[in-house]
Amino acid sequence: MLDFAIFAVTFLLALVGAVLYLYPVSAVLALWGPGRRPSLSVADGNLPDIVNSGSLHEFLVNLHERYGPVVSFWFGRRLVVSLGAVDVLKQHINPNKTLDPFETMLKSLLRYQSGGGSVSENHMRKKLYENGVTDSLKSNFALLLKLSEELLDKWLSYPETQHVPLSQHMLGFAMKSVTQMVMGSTFEDDQEVIRFQKNHGTICIFTYFQVWSEIGKGFLDGSLDKNTTRKKQYEDALMQLESVLRNIIKERKGRNFSQHIFIDSLVQGNLNDQQILEDSMIFSLASCIITAKLCTWAICFLTTSEEVEKKLYEEINQVFGNGPVTPEKIEQLRYCQHVLCETVRTAKLTPVSAQLQDIEGKIDQFIIPRETLVLYALGVVLQDPNTWPSPHKFDPDRFDDELVMKTFSSLGFSGTQECPELRFAYMVTTVLLSVLVKRLHLLSVEGQVIETKYELVTSSREEAWITVSKRY
């Protein structure tokens, strides 16, 4: 039961940990607005309810179904507010304030301190990120195409009856793509990619268990540090990754390279070495996982949606014909863009985001006190039938409606508010689908039921298997 919900609790701990440090626990204990009273002691709050629900997302689904779009619950003695409908989110989201859920969580878990400056400083960093993503994708398009074609050749060699471990292959593809486009030629060596993947996994596993010994106390009272073996593995993995990044940063400073990578944009910005290291670390960790999961879910949905795959194939054929996949023509794949938007929505790819209420605010008739942790229950919002007709149906055509796309963009999944990791993942997945769908039928394995695991990024609980067959 604990393992099933471990990431949900970790996510809250990561977000609340800094809050508990900065603001004493003498906060108001009266229940604010509609919400869930703790099932156990005040010290535990609703943590046991979250664990029993299976994940933070599933806990929030139940909470919003019962109490409506604005709810509250208790994290120990800390009040948490959750918003679960488009109209209330629009009241709260500040378009001038950058909000990256991956940065929020990972900086807390890694105990990084840089960033978090003024509005102008945050916008400067966001612009650096945007330029980094744009320039690295442009400079490394041929590399991305090469990696996609290598995967295609591998799948073309398989007999049609062979089951392909999709999640495994997509993780490997994402690791190769992200490491080379973010950190450069060091990761042309497969052994370096494997080493990065191992360290990446160690850091993720450690964060999963960065909770109470049973239901969370270790994070708050320091008993986590008593697990010396896991802590040392984590520290060694983090030290190795940071050492690699420091060497790359040192190598790239003051020099010109034909291949522009993401780190180059940070080096050229007005950032100190520690901030470059932290930002590139967070972007690398987050981009690997979100790119892998977006690729996995997109292909999963195509294998179970024959008409969608057919329509995507027709668009790819129309745009590229017998010619190569190019950056200019990639921009013409409008239906493919809708497929990826619908993938994010249907999979509830990032089910929860959050921010700290820096000034007292109001949502409908409810006052949100200053220093309250506010969750955006995006997984709830993305399945709201009042916003998305037939919400459980995979239907990319719904994004033909400009108002639907505008709503999607307002949630941070497209346009100017999307996080840089997702923007990066969109392009990588678009190139991969253009290469694969042009040559292959992507097919589901009969009888397979894919169960969902809701973490910071949603994934399949077990390996997702597919089969492929040649179009020509």
Residue 3 lies in a domain: no
263: which 2 tokens? Answer: 């780190």
Query: Does 194 share its domain with 238?
Result: yes
Contacts of 454 (CB under 8 A, 6+ apart): 7, 8, 54, 55, 56, 57, 58, 348, 351, 379
- Nearest to residue 151, comparing CAs of 289, 296, 259? 296
Contacts of 221 (CB under 8 A, 6+ apart): none
Query: Does 389 share its domain with 369?
Result: no
| Counted domains in the chain | 2
| Alpha-carbon span 64 to 82, nearest angstrom | 8
pLDDT at residue 43, as a whole number: 54
pLDDT at residue 232, as a whole number: 85
pLDDT at residue 125, as a whole number: 80
Residue 16 lies in a domain: no
Query: Does 117 share its domain with 84?
Result: no
Query: Does 112 share its domain with 34?
Result: no
| Alpha-carbon span 256 to 143, nearest angstrom | 19
pLDDT at residue 270, as a whole number: 78
Residue 13 lies in a domain: no
- CA-CA distances (angstroms) from residue 200 to 105, 323, 405, 419, 422? 15, 37, 34, 20, 18
- Specify the pairing of strand 465-470 against strand 70-75: unpaired
Query: Does 80 share its domain with 115?
Result: no
pLDDT at residue 182, as a whole number: 95
pLDDT at residue 333, as a whole number: 98
Query: Does 437 share its domain with 458?
Result: yes
* CATH number of the domain residue 236 falls in: 1.10.630.10
300 is in an annotated binding site: no
| Alpha-carbon span 92 to 372, nearest angstrom | 13
Residue 393 lies in a domain: yes
The domain of 173 spans 99-348+383-470
CB 33 within 8 A of CB 24: no
Query: Does 202 share its domain with 214?
Result: yes
* CATH number of the domain residue 50 falls in: 3.30.43.20
pLDDT at residue 377, as a whole number: 95
Residue 366 lies in a domain: yes
- Specify the pairing of strand 373-376 against strand 440-444: unpaired
| Alpha-carbon span 316 to 308, nearest angstrom | 12
Query: Does 71 share its domain with 105?
Result: no
pLDDT in tens, the chain (472 residues): 434 444 444 555 555 543 333 333 333 323 345 555 444 445 567 878 888 888 889 999 999 999 999 999 987 777 889 999 999 998 887 655 555 656 666 776 677 765 556 667 777 888 888 999 999 999 999 999 999 999 999 999 999 999 999 999 999 999 999 999 999 999 999 999 999 999 988 887 665 544 333 333 444 444 445 567 777 888 899 999 999 999 999 999 988 888 999 999 999 987 889 999 999 999 999 999 999 999 999 999 999 999 999 999 999 999 999 999 999 999 999 999 999 999 999 999 999 988 878 888 888 888 888 888 889 999 999 999 999 999 999 999 999 999 999 999 999 898 877 889 999 999 999 999 999 999 999 999 999 999 999 988 999 999 999 999 999 8
pLDDT at residue 356, as a whole number: 79
Query: Does 152 share its domain with 133?
Result: yes
Residue 223 lies in a domain: yes
Contacts of 360 (CB under 8 A, 6+ apart): 367, 368, 369, 370
Query: Does 293 share its domain with 200?
Result: yes
Residue 9 lies in a domain: no
Q: Is residue 83 classed as helix, strand or coil in its secondary structure? A: strand
